Amino acid sequence: MRTHVAVIGGGQSCEHEVSLASAASVAAGLDPDRYDVVSLTIGLDGTWRGDDRRPLSLAGAIGVLLGCDVVFPVVHGPRGEDGTLAALCELAGLPYVGSGVGSGAVAMDKWATKLVAEAVGIPTAPGRLVTAATAAGQVWTHPVVVKPVAAGSSKGVSLVREPGGLRAALDEALALDDRALVEDVVVGREIDVAVLRRADGTVVASPPLEIVVEGLFDFAAKYGGHADFRIPAALADIEAKALAEAAVATYDALGCDGVARVDFFLTDAGPVLNEVNTVPGMTEHSQVPRMFAAAGLSYPDLLDELVRGAHR
């Protein structure tokens, strides 16, 4: 008997289109001999729609979900990745793929993630929290990176090299969130590691991926084909070991489940955590599937591990 899987994409955030691509790829990538897929989409206006594209009430959407065995949320950003959909599944008593309510919420909050990482000895970039009320009083003293606290896909992220650019960067970040993070520029190689809890409960780290790009790895670089992804990254054994250990330690400290992408800067002093994505891009050509493919785990097999390891 095939397992019925509800794949949810879209969402009410600036990552809506990215999420649609991830959800479509997941739906197509699940082995049809093992899985029946029901697709649900959340519009930018919050309207749910099923396979027939007709609008559904929230109660109607929950009814569809209750007819499935497992929910596979692929909604990036706020009202999805931040634990919102995990909470819906918990309340409905539905098994679901990925991190739980608390870990999704904390990992989505870059400021909270920094506090957790520092508490377990994982360095992060020095930074400060800024709100709309405190933005006017911020003084530029050196190059910084400004980003929304809880947004993804590098939306609203700016590299500020000159004093005159700080306020505009804060305005851009605060247009997407009510808090912004101002961090020192970290000089180092950009290395990502994916961490997966397999269906048998074991936790494994992927081969490291290096992002080689001129300037800031922003939305245009990420999705415009301008970045060079090198898998596996050319690292000394001691560097690769330090990154894998830091990635797993971060995953565990945040209480993650399913798969998460942990992003670092590799400096002369070792790994510096950048951020954590508990619902990373999941097209077959996204970073996480490519990292696990380099370890011999195919895209359908990765999806299979995630579904079989869903919260029960």
**What CATH number corresponds to the domain at position 20?**
3.40.50.20
Average pLDDT of the segment spanning 231-249: 97
- Told to judge if 153 belongs to the known catalytic residues of this protein, a careful annotator would answer yes
Average pLDDT of the segment spanning 234-258: 98
Which residue out of 13, 153, 274, 286 is catalytically annotated? 153
- Told to judge if 172 belongs to the known catalytic residues of this protein, a careful annotator would answer no
Per-residue model confidence (pLDDT) at position 219: 47
Residue 223: pLDDT band with limits 50, 70, 90: very low
Which residue out of 206, 277, 290, 309 is catalytically annotated? 277
In terms of domains, do 109 and 221 share one?
Answer: yes
Which residue out of 189, 197, 261, 290 is catalytically annotated? 261
In terms of domains, do 114 and 210 share one?
Answer: yes
- Told to judge if 81 belongs to the known catalytic residues of this protein, a careful annotator would answer no
Residue 255, judged by CB atoms within 10 A of its CB (0-12, 13-18, 19+), counts as middle
Q: Answer whether residue 222 shows pLDDT above 80.
A: no
The tokens describing 53, both together, are 């594209």
Residue 55: pLDDT band with limits 50, 70, 90: very high
pLDDT digits (tens, 9 = 90+) for 257-276: 999 999 999 999 999 999 99
- Told to judge if 201 belongs to the known catalytic residues of this protein, a careful annotator would answer no
% of the chain surpassing 70 pLDDT: 95
Average pLDDT, the chain: 93
Q: Number of structural domains, the chain? A: 3
Give DSSP secondary structure letters for 117-157. HHHTT--B--EEEEETTTGGG----S-EEEEETT--TTTT-
- Told to judge if 299 belongs to the known catalytic residues of this protein, a careful annotator would answer no
Which residue out of 10, 11, 29, 281 is catalytically annotated? 281
- Told to judge if 301 belongs to the known catalytic residues of this protein, a careful annotator would answer no
In terms of domains, do 111 and 235 share one?
Answer: yes
Which residue out of 9, 15, 77, 96 is catalytically annotated? 15
List the CATH number of the domain containing 156.
3.30.1490.20
In terms of domains, do 116 and 45 share one?
Answer: no
Query: Half-sphere exposure of residue 203, counting CA atoms within 13 Å on the CB side?
Result: 17
pTM of the full structure: 0.92
In terms of domains, do 45 and 139 share one?
Answer: no
Residue 296: pLDDT band with limits 50, 70, 90: very high
Sorted by sequence, the CB contacts under 8 Å of residue 225 that are 6+ apart come out as none
In terms of domains, do 22 and 75 share one?
Answer: yes
- Told to judge if 223 belongs to the known catalytic residues of this protein, a careful annotator would answer yes
**Among residues 277, 287, 286, which one has the least CA distance to residue 254?**
277
**Among residues 142, 134, 143, which one has the least CA distance to residue 170?**
134
Domain interval for residue 293: 105-124+187-308
> For the chain, percent helix, then strand, then coil, each to nearest 5?
35, 25, 40
pLDDT digits (tens, 9 = 90+) for 173-202: 999 899 999 999 999 999 999 999 999 999
In terms of domains, do 233 and 131 share one?
Answer: no
- Told to judge if 35 belongs to the known catalytic residues of this protein, a careful annotator would answer no
In terms of domains, do 12 and 80 share one?
Answer: yes
Which residue out of 17, 154, 223, 245 is catalytically annotated? 223
Q: Answer whether residue 226 shows pLDDT above 60.
A: no
Give DSSP secondary structure letters for 261-308. EEEEEEETTEEEEEEEESS---STTSHHHHHHHHTT--HHHHHHHHHH
In terms of domains, do 288 and 170 share one?
Answer: no
pLDDT digits (tens, 9 = 90+) for 116-159: 999 999 999 999 999 999 999 999 999 999 999 987 656 789 99
Domain boundary (143, 165, 184) is at: 184
In terms of domains, do 234 and 116 share one?
Answer: yes
